[in-house]
Amino acid sequence: MDEIQKTEKSFHFDLYRRLPVTLVRGEGTRVWDSSGREYLDFLSGIAVNVLGHGHPAIIRAINDQSAKLIHVSNIFYNEPQARLAELLTGISDFERVFFCNSGLEANEAAIKLARKIGNEKGKKGPIISFTSGFHGRSIASITMGSTKHQQGFGPLPRGFLKLPYNDVSSLKENVNDETVAIFVEAIQGEGGVNPAHMVFMVALQELCKKYEVLLVGDEIQTGFGRTGRLFGYQHYPILPDMITVAKALGGGFPIGALLSSSSLSSHFKYGDHGTTFGGNPLACAASLATVKTIMSENLIESAAELGKYFLEMLQPMRDRIPQINEIRGKGLMIGIDLSFPCRPVVLKMLEKGFIINCTAENVIRLLPPLIITKKEIDRLIINLEEAIIEEIP
């Protein structure tokens, strides 16, 4: 344990099960620890660093903007915020943007907007979410998420209902004209990299239209090319009423957003919602550089191609290792479902010089930067197979 780790353990809340490494520098797909050891990053700060580490466009944008103006509050207009709103509405299916600082804040904004609209329509039903979902760690968002994140925090807010993910019959039994909104992830990330079934998403859209229920797509982990599409919902013939985004939006700089139509956004009036830091010039400048680079360098199409290659190259491993239950995902969002807890595999891969993640106890989650190469994917697969075999109980 180095001095930084000892200091952190002495003064920080004991909330994280950190890997025993202190990272000090990054470049592209690689990071280095305090001892100078190099690692290939297949986690991207949990789907955040889509352009890798130290990308010149992001560094340049942050340097240039920080020399001009870092923060002014939303009492004033600022150019990076206006330009980013224009860009996001131009490349998406939505007309209005509210900026905040994180995915959690984006979801809280969506909850409030859905409630406001529901109340105006006289709806008295719940906001629906799904088992194994994850929408943040506020009191409202843990109520919509996994039971394990709710323990010890009751009483939880009323007005929420959780249904089984990918269960069409449950949807039909519970969605009605009193339902306010439905939050859904096209691929559940924290829940184990679980893609939504086509029939489920189609039924979801149909029921929302039938009963005038707001469909909210949580795109916080799936957005901005991660799945091989700009947004995860675009793998299905649906269109949410609003989406929440964060993570990749800033390329490593904290920023979140809620996107909706103009007609929905108009239900928020002056004072209904707001933020001090959200949409600050520095965050928006970093985001502008990130999104423009994703689009100009065709990284969405690249993620689709690389994801297909990744999954094809992983499948033989499943055939050779019976303890692999399933390999699933889309684009560069991949889960390897094991028959045993996968944290020992994560630690073994760290020894081998690779950063990966374990979620839902037994699912290896792979979220590399969109600039990853086939050669780096090949290196990961060779070492990952060795690590899984070595850690089979």
**Which tokens belong to 341?**
């807890």
**Phi, psi values for residue 366, rounded to 5°:** -115, 120
Consecutive H or E run containing 345: helix 343-352
Query: What are the catalytic residues?
Result: 134, 218, 247
**Which tokens belong to 197?**
């079934």
Strand pairing class (357-359; 214-218): unpaired
Closest CA to 211 of 233, 239, 180, 170: 180
Closest CA to 302 of 378, 365, 223, 371: 371
Torsion of CA 373, 55, 286, 263, to 10 degrees: -10
Strand pairing class (30-33; 23-27): antiparallel
- 311 in helix, strand or coil? helix
Residues contacting residue 306 through CB under 8 Å, at least 6 positions apart: 331, 332, 372, 374, 377
Q: Is the Cβ–Cβ distance between 363 and 327 less than 8 Å? A: no
Q: Is the Cβ–Cβ distance between 349 and 355 less than 8 Å? A: yes
